[in-house]
Amino acid sequence: MSAPALAAPGGASAAPAPSRPRATRRRLLWVLAAVVLLALVTLLSLAVGARAIPPSHVIDAILHGGSSNDALVVRTQRLPRTIVGLVVGASLGVAGAVMQGITRNPIAEPGVLGISNGAAGGVVCAIVLFDVHSLTGYVWFGFAGALIAAICVYAVASAGPGGSTPVKLALSGAAFAALLGSVISGVMSTQAQALDEYRFWLVGSLGGRGWDVALQVLPFLGVGLVLVFAVARGLDALALGEDAARGLGQNVALVRGVGALGATVLTGSAVAAAGPIAFVGLVVPHAARRLVGTGHRWVLAMAALLGPAMLVVSDVIGRVLFPPSEVPAGVMTALMGVPVLVALVRGRKVIAS
């Protein structure tokens, strides 16, 4: 029979002492596994499509170029499309984790502050008012619309006693989302040609995204990640409650403001580039917490890996499901996200932070 665990001073057991290193190793292993998964998914995205290309040819095309048909398809079509998918998926996954941390709401996602509808409003303005008809043009207008919507929501939620509480943020976001949705529907009902273009963007897809779009969204990802990782510790403290966070020396308003700005940058650029992509920002943070715990530095890092993996896999499945037609990635993420979310809810209590 094994000897009983010795008691530490104060009555605490000394046995659990190695738990923190073990937990860190476990998290690192999950992150490494996610990196490997993302690499395999990226290779799959470059190899699979209407024309199957052997992985060896894909790697050769990336490393050495070439003028063969396979090399041209990989470099000019699939590689920029895959990069956009990686950036958009990472942006939505991280933004969802930040939104759930800011609002302390387990069902929050990038649209909770009206950001997605703000981006949609910006695209509508680009089409109707400024005669913009290109994806590269949509990115800037969509991002501007998302930023304006987020500022309005935060300003309304900050007014009055108590400041920007989670409930006030959620209610203000829902109100602005409903308002913008009504305005967009009203404008589109009177603009038949604009409606056709808007519906093409609204479905959420990675198809047709080239190097111009890929290079536009990459800087937004970098800026957004810097902002959200800067307040990761603050989000951990905020999960304990506002009073506890203030007692730990955190500026709650600053944490919420910087976190919301980072999530806005990430969501606005992602939605503007690929359209509204459902479920990535909702499902991925819960999956990340299931694997690495509730510390936001780990959750954000894991969400930045699982988000693009989920979106790119959805895009690949959509390409081959009904050839030669493609099912948009936004449709596939919803189809894949529902069973994953149900499994997470059934398997463990869902927590927001």
Give the tens place of pLDDT for each residue, 327-337.
999 999 988 88
Q: Which two tokens stand for residue 100?
A: 């759930």
Which range, of 58-72, 158-172, 206-220, averages the lowest pLDDT?
158-172
Q: Nearest-CA neighbor of 100 among 13, 228, 210?
A: 228
CB 305 within 8 A of CB 86: no
Q: Is the Cβ–Cβ distance between 27 and 293 less than 8 Å?
A: yes
- Residue 14, pLDDT > 50, answer no
Give the global pTM.
0.88
How does DSSP classify residue 76?
A: I
Asked whether the predicted pLDDT for residue 353 surpasses 80, the reply is no
Half-sphere exposure of 272 (CA within 13 A, CB side): 35
Q: How confident is the prediction for the chain on average, in pLDDT?
A: 87
- CA-based nearest residue to 91, from 69, 115, 70: 115
- Neighbour count for residue 116 (Cβ, 10 Å): 31
Helical pair 115-128 and 135-158, crossing angle rounded to 10 deg: 130
Q: Which of 148-162, 216-230, 274-288 has the lowest mean pLDDT?
A: 148-162
pLDDT digits 0-9 by tens, 106-159: 888 877 778 889 999 999 999 999 988 888 888 889 889 999 998 998 889 888
- Residues 299 and 108: their CA atoms lie apart, in Å, by 15
Question: How sure is the predictor about 265, in pLDDT bands with cuts at 50, 70 and 90?
Answer: very high
Quote the pLDDT of residue 141: 92
Q: Which two tokens stand for residue 287?
A: 């999956």
Average pLDDT for 291-305: 96
Q: Tell me how far apart the alpha carbons of residues 319 and 315 are, in angstroms, rounded to a whole number.
A: 6
pLDDT at 104 over 50: yes
Quick one: pLDDT at residue 338? 83
pLDDT band of 348, cuts 50, 70, 90:
low
pLDDT at 7: 42
**What pLDDT, on the 0 to 100 scale, is given for residue 349?**
53
* Nearest-angstrom CA–CA distance, 287 and 205: 23
Phi/psi for 203 (5° steps) reads -65, -25
Share of the chain above pLDDT 70, in %: 92
Q: What is the pLDDT of residue 344?
A: 67
Please state, in angstroms and rounded to a whole number, the distance separating the CA atoms of residues 185 and 201. 15
Q: Residue 6: which pLDDT band, with cuts at 50, 70 and 90?
A: very low
The whole-number pLDDT of residue 347 equals 65
pLDDT at 160 over 80: no
pLDDT at residue 1 tops 70: no
CATH 1.20.120.450 fits 41-347, yes or no: no
For the beta carbon of residue 194, count every other beta carbon within 10 angstroms: 19
Does position 12 have pLDDT exceeding 60, yes or no?
no
